[in-house]
Amino acid sequence: MRSICEHERVIPIIVETDVLVAGGGTAGAVAAISAAREGANVVLIEQFGGLGGTATQSLVTPMMHTYIENNPMCSSISQEINDRLIESGYGYKGNNGNGGYFDPLMLKYLLEKMAVESGVNLLYYTFVSDVIIKDNKVQGLIIENKNGRNALLGKVIIDCTGDADLAWKAGVPCDKGDEDGKNQPLSLRYLVGGIDLEKFSDFIRNYDKNFRYKESIFYSAVTSKGDGVLDPVFKEAIKKGDLTEEDAIYWEIFGVPGRYDTLAFNCPEFFEDVDGTNAYHLTKAQIKGKEAIMRHLKFYKKYFNGFENAYVSEIAPMVGIRESRRIIGEYKLSDEDVLLKRKFNDYIAKSNYPVDIHGKTLKYEDLKAVEDDRPYYEIPYRCLLPVDIENMLVAGRCISASFLAQSSLRIQPTVRAIGEAAGIAAAIAVKEDILLQQIDGTRIREIMIDRGGNF
Exposed/middle/buried for 212, CB within 10 Å: 0-12, 13-18, 19+? exposed
Q: Predicted confidence band at 416 (pLDDT cuts at 50, 70, 90)? A: very high
Q: Place 10 in a pLDDT band, splitting at 50, 70 and 90.
A: very high
**Distance between CA atoms of residues 267 and 319, nearest Å:** 11
- pLDDT tens by residue, 261-274: 999 999 999 999 99
Say yes or no to pLDDT of 97 above 50: no
Q: Do the beta carbons of residue 364 and residue 335 sit within 8 Å?
A: yes
R_g of the chain, CA atoms, integer Å = 22
How high is the mean pLDDT of the chain?
Answer: 94
- State the Cα–Cα distance between residues 267 and 292, nearest whole angstrom: 9
CA distance 22 to 156: 11
Q: Does the pLDDT of residue 394 top 90, yes or no?
A: yes
Residue 362: per-residue pLDDT: 61
| 66: nearest Cα among 345, 379, 331, 276 | 379
CA distance 422 to 162: 14
What's this model's pTM, rounded to 2 decimal places? 0.96
Dump pLDDT digits (tens) for 340-386.
999 999 999 999 999 999 876 665 555 666 667 789 999 999 999 99
For domain 13-177+324-450, the CATH architecture is 3-Layer(bba) Sandwich (3.50)
CA distance 198 to 177: 42
Res. 215: pLDDT tops 90: no
Q: What is the pLDDT of residues 286-343, one digit of tens each?
A: 999 999 999 999 999 999 999 999 999 999 999 999 999 999 999 999 999 999 999 9
pLDDT band at 227 (very low <50, low <70, confident <90, very high): confident
Which of residues 368 and 219 earns the better pLDDT score? Answer: 219
Q: Is the pLDDT reported for residue 119 higher than 90?
A: yes
Domain spans in the chain, listed from the N-terminal domain onward: 13-177+324-450, 186-321
Distance CA 377, CA 410 (A): 13
Would you place residue 40 in the very low, low, confident or very high pLDDT band (cuts 50, 70, 90)?
very high
